Amino acid sequence: MEKLPKAGIPVIIGIIIILIILFKSAITIKSGQAGVLYKTFDGGVVVDEPALGEGFHVIAPWNDVFVYEVRQQELFEKMKVLSSNGLEIQIDASAWYEPVYSQLGKLHKSIGENYLDRVIKPAIRSAARSVVGRYTPEQLYSSKRDAIQDEIFDETKKILNKQNVQLNEVLVRDVTLPNTIKDAIERKLKQEQESLEYEFRLVTAQKEAEKVRIEAQGKADANKILSASLNDQILKDKGIEATMKLSNSPNSKVIVIGSGDSGLPIILGNQ
């Protein structure tokens, strides 16, 4: 009976060792994640094999796995940059990014898990300073927001493509100018709008006057042509034609008194 506990001690120790080995060897990669394998006795970070995908994996107990989020993530940045004339502008921007899945081992080996602070933030800040420095506050406030958004995306993407990080989108949410500059720009834009409205009303009035002039000229030309085409004989023929029609009317009682100045008969009704 006394030997049983002594014989059971190695078994208990063996079970504990096995449990430790299993605990160290088993790893579960959750949804939206991937693992980079580190081989302690065989070259370190594995860069020439695919990353460990989602699910349960068994590895050698002396190796390690570094787990990365591989879904799209968002970075929100408030940046103070200078415009082309040296004024300080605040840009609120969001960047959508993710590590390149097929290059996860290289990313871990060259940069590490803190790649957001090491490469993404510096890249987007550098691109924002470069892009905004090409424009004046007036351009940033009015018409160039979409342009700077696209340019910041393009310049940041060029940097991150070399770092095994994929940039999906850059969104410029807000551009904040100093209040004095903002007020001055708004006054200028208001004056320009009023000037455009005045020019529009002036052009409209000129077009309306031109329309009236053309109509009047057309009527004058028509009257001139009509007057030139009329002579005494035509007028007499027209008068005779009208007299004949009037004399044939059942409601008319024709009385011929004599000749008028034109040589035509004067016709009276039953009044």
Of residues 166 and 23, the one with the higher pLDDT is 166
Based on the fold, state whether residues 86 and 166 are members of the same structural domain: yes
pLDDT digits (tens, 9 = 90+) for 218-262: 777 777 776 666 566 665 666 666 666 666 666 655 545 445 555
Based on the fold, state whether residues 34 and 64 are members of the same structural domain: yes
Residue 34 has pLDDT above 60, yes or no: yes
Based on the fold, state whether residues 153 and 203 are members of the same structural domain: no
Picking from 162, 177, 192, the residue at the C-terminal end of a domain is 177
Quick one: pLDDT at residue 90?
86
Report the share of the chain in percent with pLDDT over 90: 32
How many beta carbons lie within 10 A of that of residue 150, not counting itself? 13
Averaged over 174-178, what is the pLDDT?
79
Picking from 69, 86, 114, the residue at the C-terminal end of a domain is 69
Quick one: pLDDT at residue 218?
79
How many beta carbons lie within 10 A of that of residue 46, not counting itself? 20
Based on the fold, state whether residues 63 and 98 are members of the same structural domain: no
pLDDT digits (tens, 9 = 90+) for 53-74: 999 888 888 888 999 999 999 9
Based on the fold, state whether residues 62 and 96 are members of the same structural domain: no
Residue 179 has pLDDT above 80, yes or no: no
What range defines the domain where residue 21 resides? 3-69
CA torsion sign for 183, 188, 193, 194 is positive
Q: Which pairs count as long-range contacts for 51-58, CB under 8 Å and 24+ apart, including other chains?
A: 51/101, 51/104, 51/105, 52/27, 53/29, 54/29, 54/30, 55/28, 55/29, 56/26, 56/27, 56/28, 57/26, 57/27, 57/28, 57/29, 58/25, 58/26, 58/27
Based on the fold, state whether residues 54 and 91 are members of the same structural domain: no
Domain count, the chain: 4
Mean pLDDT check: name the lowest of 5-19, 132-146, 198-212, 255-269. Answer: 255-269
Based on the fold, state whether residues 168 and 204 are members of the same structural domain: no
Based on the fold, state whether residues 168 and 80 are members of the same structural domain: yes
Based on the fold, state whether residues 50 and 83 are members of the same structural domain: no
pTM above 0.95, yes or no: no
Based on the fold, state whether residues 52 and 90 are members of the same structural domain: no
Picking from 48, 69, 90, the residue at the C-terminal end of a domain is 69
